[in-house]
Structure 1
Amino acid sequence: MVPLRILAPLPLLALASSLTAGPAFAADENAAGATADDTDPAEAIVVTARAQTLYRVRDTDVGKIPANPLDIPQSVQVINSEMMQDQGARDITDLYRDVPGVSANNYATVTYRGFSQDVTFYDGLRGDPFQTFSVPQLFTIDRVEFLKGPAGMLYGAGSPGGTINYVTKKPQDTFAANVRAILGGRSRYGGSVDVTGPLDKDGILTGRIGGFYEDYDSYRDHASSRTLIGDAGLSAKLAPDTKLTVQVTDYDQNLPGNRLRGIPVDANGNFLTYRSWNHNDPDDFIRYNGLVTQARLDSKLSDAISFNLAGRWFRYNEHQEYHEPVALKDTDGDGVYDTVTREYRDQHRHVEGLSFGANMVGKFTTGPFSHTVLVGADWYRELSTGTNYATRNVPALSLIDPDYRDSTKPDLSGVTPSLTDSKALRRGVYAQEQLGIGEHVILVGGVRRDWFDDNDYIEGESASEAATTWRAGAIYKPRHDLSLYVSWSQAFEPQDVADQSSAAGGPFKPESGSQWEVGAKSDLFDGKVQATLAAYRIVRRNVLQVDVSQDSVNGVDQLAPVGEVTSKGIEATLTTDLTKNWVFSVNYAYNDTRITGTVEGQSIDNSVGDRFPNTPHHQAGFWTRYQVAPIDTAFALGGQYVSNQLDRSGDRLKPFTVFDATISHDFKVFEAMFRIENIFDKYYATSGFTGPKGAYIGNARSWFIELRRKF
């Protein structure tokens, strides 16, 4: 762990020492976007017309060019820091209810328009330090951008359902600081500090320093979570229109009683044991440490030309010692599973990644046409090594009356570990033209060429391929705050390195995907009504599966890229100020993802019949906040509905509806927020794996109080 004192620029420490002399909290809230007509100067937490002033996003970088979401011919949703704060969001899982078409899959992955999504970007670059079993925290994040559907032309290889881009917090030109403390149920406690501002009188240098710590017990037996984050940034104005920003973030997590799988269910989705049951022993754990550094240079060469250069390096180490569920057993012959056999695993993972990106944007006009031209390139290399010791020489565990008193860690001295050692290399160049015709029409067209190389050094296998992807769209704006659009986009995804083996018939061409989407977006009444409506159809081809027409070779099944999957759906969102003190947000998504092309007698891996697992047909979410200005208090309520799903074993996962709420009050010296999650203590499954590994379950009822002071 890098000590925070090393990360902290000395001038920022001086700023932090002056916190008690900071300006009134109300001034900071008014600066967030409320006008003099909206807010009484004495009010603090009460900022009126929140959809119009705080939640509204006028520009996003998710399309590689800073643009109004209305000028992007694909569904885009942005959750900014103000909305995350109002909802009390701690990590990415708290935001799923706000984004139609996105639902929990497992750990840090999501189901995105029917497809498992595990490729994530930070400030437009690859380099995700939460790739496996840790969930991204939001302390360092300013906003989260969701670009729906394939984004191959913009980002290269990735999942066809969509792209998640985290925009990190940067140093600011004006001084701001906040301090938070948290206390809650299950022995929860923690706190954070965040300071930013100029470091010299001319504002040439600006900095940011932040620290976060949180500790709480899980509702699962002997499981808990401890997270420590240190974050810092430094910006320098090298010229009036040129800025260099350097950032470093250190993550440290200790998760005793983990790695947590789910709770086994029967074919109808009934849980086979109580919610607190844990397949791990008390001395099992996950320990994670990640370090990220990145730098970005932004420069405006003229009114017509600007460019940016960025680099990101990360590494993480993860050590896991845990008991993996293997098989369900009926030991007393009554037809009901009552025991699970287990495998003990001792795993070490080390992942290191390096990425670069460059973009140049030109804006000019020719006669009645306006042009925005983007050219860019990106490069990414990831090295991954691992060691896995595994043995089934451990006792089974009762589902009904587990005995955790004695450690069952076996002696691994005679166990031969399995090893992983691989390299993934991605390179791409792209160009896009955004053509404006008059005031009402925008046409978009782009092309990208990608190359990738994968190497499995343990098996001595490698695969190389290239792919070209395209993007096209048209937008019609009958008025400046309403856009109607249609788009077509492509994506591709290389096959897993393990499936590229020549022994299995590889190497294989990457999976390919394309999407048609039509929709409408609005920003009516100067942002008081923000709405989107989209309909889409995604086709994913070259899905690998076992070719049963061929005999296995030396015990290795032969693969063939003969699969096709089609996802169709509609999505709708609405965020509006019902009154200047009452904001309301609601969304709905329908999705139908099915296997539409295969060979008789074969089935696509991780499918159930013609359906994919963890793909609910219906999702809905809402959030509303009402503020009572005379008493400086705000009341909020949110909810999420997810229809039934199937897990990978074909077992049904029941639909669920859960609610949470917050109450915020300003005590003048500080603001307090009380948050309660899963108000009615619903016992429910968010997604599923296989029978013995069970269904991943939503958090039991929990609460915390957060005290905030802003300066």
Structure 2
Amino acid sequence: MVRLWWIPMLVAVPAPALAQQAATPDDDAEILVQGRAQQLYRTLVTTVGKSAQDPLDIPQALQVINHDLFVDQGARDATDLYRNISGVSAFSYAGVTFRGFRQDESFYDGMRGNPFIGFSVPQLFNIDRVEVLKGPAGLFFGPGAPGGIINYVSKTPSDRSALRTVVTGGTYARAGISSEATGRVDRDGVVSYRVGGFFEAMEPFRRNTLNKMLIGDAGLSIRTHPGGLLTLQVTAYDSYLRANRLRGVLVDDKGRFLTSIRWNANEKSDWLHLNSTAWSARYATTIGDAISFDAGVRRFKSTERQQYHEPRGRSTTNPDLVVREFRDQVRPVDGLSFMANATATTTLFGMAHRFQLGGDWYREDNGLSSRILRSGVLPLSLSNPVYGRSSGDALRARALPFTVTDTRARRVGAYAQDQISLTERLLLVAGVRWDRFEDAVRVATAGRVTSDSGYRDSDVTFRGGLIYRPRTDLSLYASWSEGFDPQAPASQNRDAGGPFAPVTGNQVEAGVKSRLLGGRLQANAALYRILRSNLLQVDPTRSPVNGVDPLSPIGEVTSKGFEVDLTTDITPRWVLLVNYGYNDTRVTDTVAGQAVTDAIGSRFANAPAHKVGFWTRYQLESIGTAFALGGEAVSSRISRSGQAVRPYAIFDASITKSLGFAELMLRVDNLFDKVYAASGFTRQTGHFPGEPRTVLAELRTRF
């Protein structure tokens, strides 16, 4: 277990020095700031294209959610942000539905290496902003799902002395404290630091549950010369979730819960424990006025341990009982990532060019040791669950051998892109990327290897686009981009007919981006079509081999839709954010009677046709108070088993009061206590219920 008890003490060390350097009465005396969208929410620069660039010059839809919006909304983890992103909705745990497709992978500072493996959700304490690039992002990020990527950009050291502390409390016994400090190590600010600690505990609404999250984050930045900066960072996470791995609550075919949403298949003795540490080093420099270069390395090691009761559906003899099995699992992951990028601007043949070159390499060793106890595990009643009678299941499971699955993945790629100013208003973008991957999986039970397979391949993908800027604050664009995603290593089993070529895909997109009225109005719209081919399905024309169903690449999926995002200052004190996404994702080519993963017939699981999110905040400067209201509406969906997932609309509200030396925020989520399913899963495990009405209070101080 990672010991992080020292973090609050470490954070407190700089406090005396910071107190001496506290802001003057005219500097940061008022924490609340008017015109939040224009001054704080507006996005002028993004690095989602691997180098700093104006979003209006990127021929693809994107969104950037910065730290100021985190603070105003009281966001804690990634799930708190989905309502701000058009085309994105919850799937399960940290996974999302992204333009109709399931997406589980995240990037940190432009590199692979998500420390929240398996069934844990990314936290936002040490995150400065979240960048979302929509559609195939293979040119810059390599193989992946076609819906898009989410890139978490870390907070970094600063030479400005500052100390921020937040104390939280709320319903479900919620209590926590966090603190972070930045400042100079030396008088000239050549070396600066950041150190932070976060702790929060609560007993959520599901029976038997208890969540504890502990984060420690420290970093140093070293200015090597006026244009160069080296940043070193280490972050440790310790997450303990009692009565987890948390599954859903069973529903009928119309999506109605069969019992209270507090129901949980897990005993109080069940648990999930994640220990994770990530180290990173990033160097960025400029060479004159025309060239910039950056390189990074990221290493992480995570271990997620689980002992829990898995629901296996209702009993055939008594529908009030849910059959269960006990699972004991260990998931170690070791990942290492490198990247390097260079950007140069020059003039050739009378036209301005912006060249980008880069490459990345990633290694991940992923393990799963699992043993499952199926006999003698007591079922659990839906109407009157009685807990505490299954504490011996963990001891009995120890007599079983572990089945060990070792998965090894290697990725290497390089890209080149040129952005050409054909005229002052017309830009042409063209890029190419080469990738090579190697995947292997070995399965052994009690030391005996039962399966050993692997596959390697390479691919070349392209990206092109046109951007027309009739005004400096408006751009119209059209683009075409390709991507691919290697088949799951387990699917490369030779008995199943493997190895198989990757899933391929492309997207055609057109849209408009704007930053009008001096930045007061930021409005974007996009229309897209994604085609994904080569998906594997069971081949009904062939017989099983050694008990393994044969697979064939006989699936195709088409996703079509449009999205609108609006951020505006209605008045200097009133801000509004609205997003809407329409999506139609369907299987367009398949074998009769077969379905691709996460699809039922022609429809995809957890892919809503309509999703709306909004957030508005009004500040009464005369009393130093801001009032906010937010909401999300999601249309009907289906689960992975074809059960209905009912539509829902929920609303949140908050009040933030300036106290001079601090500010106090009171937030109420699910204002009208709506009972709803955030997403569907399977018939055996049910739908994931959304949180009932909850109250959160934050006291924030900053010096």
TM interval, shorter chain, is: over 0.9
Give the C-alpha shift of residue 206 in structure 1. 0.6
Amino acid at match of 2:381: S
Number of aligned pairs?
693
Matched, 1:527 2:519: yes
Identify the match of residue 380 of structure 2 among 397, 413, 426. Answer: 397
Secondary structure in 1 matching 2:599: coil
Alignment-derived partner of residue 446 in structure 1: 431
TM-score, length-normalised on structure 1? 0.95
Secondary structure in 2 matching 1:462: strand
Alignment-derived partner of residue 411 in structure 2: 426
Determine the C-alpha separation between the residues in 2 that align with 1:6 and 1:300.
38
User: 2:406, 2:442 within 8 Å by CA — same for their partners in 1?
Assistant: yes
User: 1:7, 1:232 within 8 Å by CA — same for their partners in 2?
Assistant: no
Deviations, residues 42-78 of structure 1 (Å, cap 9, x unaligned): 6x24322211111011110001121011110000100
Identify the match of residue 342 of structure 1 among 324, 349, 367. Answer: 324
Identify the match of residue 327 of structure 1 among 304, 313, 326. Answer: 313
Determine the C-alpha separation between the residues in 1 that align with 2:510 and 2:542.
42
Q: How does 1:594-609 map to 2 (within 5 A)?
A: 594-609=586-601
Determine the C-alpha separation between the residues in 2 that align with 1:406 and 1:540.
48
User: 2:8, 2:197 within 8 Å by CA — same for their partners in 1?
Assistant: no
Alignment-derived partner of residue 85 in structure 1: 71
User: 1:179, 1:710 within 8 Å by CA — same for their partners in 2?
Assistant: yes
Determine the C-alpha separation between the residues in 2 that align with 1:245 and 1:663.
37
User: 1:28, 1:710 within 8 Å by CA — same for their partners in 2?
Assistant: no
Q: How does 1:627-642 map to 2 (within 5 A)?
A: 627-642=619-634
Give the C-alpha shift of residue 27 in structure 1. 5.3
Alignment-derived partner of residue 53 in structure 1: 39
Determine the C-alpha separation between the residues in 2 that align with 1:98 and 1:419.
40
Determine the C-alpha separation between the residues in 1 that align with 2:515 and 2:24.
30
> Judging changes above 3 Å, is the alpha-carbon distance between structure 1 residues 281 and 690 closer, same or farther for their aligned structure 2 residues?
same
Alignment-derived partner of residue 38 in structure 1: none
Secondary structure in 2 matching 1:218: coil
Alignment-derived partner of residue 140 in structure 1: 126
Alignment-derived partner of residue 486 in structure 2: 494
> Judging changes above 3 Å, is the alpha-carbon distance between structure 1 residues 259 and 4 closer, same or farther for their aligned structure 2 residues?
closer
Matched, 1:374 2:373: no
Identify the match of residue 501 of structure 2 among 505, 509, 523. Answer: 509
Alignment-derived partner of residue 456 in structure 2: 464
Amino acid at match of 1:500: Q
Amino acid at match of 1:591: N
Alignment-derived partner of residue 34 in structure 1: none
Amino acid at match of 1:673: M
> Judging changes above 3 Å, is the alpha-carbon distance between structure 1 residues 28 and 102 closer, same or farther for their aligned structure 2 residues?
farther
Deviations, residues 498-526 of structure 1 (Å, cap 9, x unaligned): 00011110000000010000000100012
Deviations, residues 446-500 of structure 1 (Å, cap 9, x unaligned): 0000000011133221100111111001100000000000000011000000000
Secondary structure in 2 matching 1:228: strand
Give the C-alpha shift of residue 331 in structure 1. 4.1
Matched, 1:213 2:199: yes
Amino acid at match of 1:535: L
Alignment-derived partner of residue 22 in structure 2: 23
Amino acid at match of 1:400: S
Alignment-derived partner of residue 292 in structure 1: 278
Say which is worse superposed, 447-456 or 366-375, in terms of deviation: 366-375
Give the C-alpha shift of residue 80 in structure 1. 0.2
> Judging changes above 3 Å, is the alpha-carbon distance between structure 1 residues 9 and 62 closer, same or farther for their aligned structure 2 residues?
farther
Give the C-alpha shift of residue 23 in structure 1. 3.0
Give the C-alpha shift of residue 555 in structure 1. 1.2
Say which is worse superposed, 342-351 or 432-441, in terms of deviation: 432-441
Q: How does 1:621-700 map to 2 (within 5 A)?
A: 621-700=613-692
User: 2:18, 2:161 within 8 Å by CA — same for their partners in 1?
Assistant: no
User: 2:198, 2:215 within 8 Å by CA — same for their partners in 1?
Assistant: yes
Give the C-alpha shift of residue 409 in structure 1. 3.4
> Judging changes above 3 Å, is the alpha-carbon distance between structure 1 residues 406 and 527 closer, same or farther for their aligned structure 2 residues?
same
User: 2:8, 2:179 within 8 Å by CA — same for their partners in 1?
Assistant: no
Alignment-derived partner of residue 576 in structure 2: 584
Identify the match of residue 258 of structure 1 among 227, 240, 244. Answer: 244
Identify the match of residue 171 of structure 1 among 141, 146, 157. Answer: 157
User: 2:2, 2:275 within 8 Å by CA — same for their partners in 1?
Assistant: no
Give the C-alpha shift of residue 665 in structure 1. 0.3
Deviations, residues 588-624 of structure 1 (Å, cap 9, x unaligned): 0000000001123432233111001000000001100
> Judging changes above 3 Å, is the alpha-carbon distance between structure 1 residues 25 and 339 closer, same or farther for their aligned structure 2 residues?
farther
TM-score, length-normalised on structure 2? 0.96
Determine the C-alpha separation between the residues in 2 that align with 1:123 and 1:291.
15
Alignment-derived partner of residue 224 in structure 2: 238
Determine the C-alpha separation between the residues in 2 that align with 1:4 and 1:344.
31
User: Superposition RMSD on alpha carbons, in Å?
Assistant: 1.6
Q: How does 1:614-625 map to 2 (within 5 A)?
A: 614-625=606-617
User: 1:45, 1:632 within 8 Å by CA — same for their partners in 2?
Assistant: no
User: 2:117, 2:302 within 8 Å by CA — same for their partners in 1?
Assistant: no
Secondary structure in 2 matching 1:267: coil
> Judging changes above 3 Å, is the alpha-carbon distance between structure 1 residues 511 and 687 closer, same or farther for their aligned structure 2 residues?
same
Amino acid at match of 1:355: S
Identify the match of residue 48 of structure 2 among 55, 62, 71. Answer: 62
Determine the C-alpha separation between the residues in 1 that align with 2:381 and 2:601.
32
Determine the C-alpha separation between the residues in 2 that align with 1:264 and 1:59.
45
Determine the C-alpha separation between the residues in 2 that align with 1:539 and 1:652.
26
Alignment-derived partner of residue 190 in structure 1: 176
Amino acid at match of 1:388: S
Determine the C-alpha separation between the residues in 1 that align with 2:216 and 2:606.
34
Give the C-alpha shift of residue 15 in structure 1. 2.7
Determine the C-alpha separation between the residues in 2 that align with 1:564 and 1:26.
63
Determine the C-alpha separation between the residues in 2 that align with 1:130 and 1:224.
18
Alignment-derived partner of residue 99 in structure 1: 85
User: 1:282, 1:407 within 8 Å by CA — same for their partners in 2?
Assistant: no
Amino acid at match of 1:624: T
Deviations, residues 553-606 of structure 1 (Å, cap 9, x unaligned): 121111000110000000001110000000011110000000001123432233
Give the C-alpha shift of residue 439 in structure 1. 2.2
Amino acid at match of 2:424: E
Say which is worse superposed, 436-445 or 494-503, in terms of deviation: 436-445
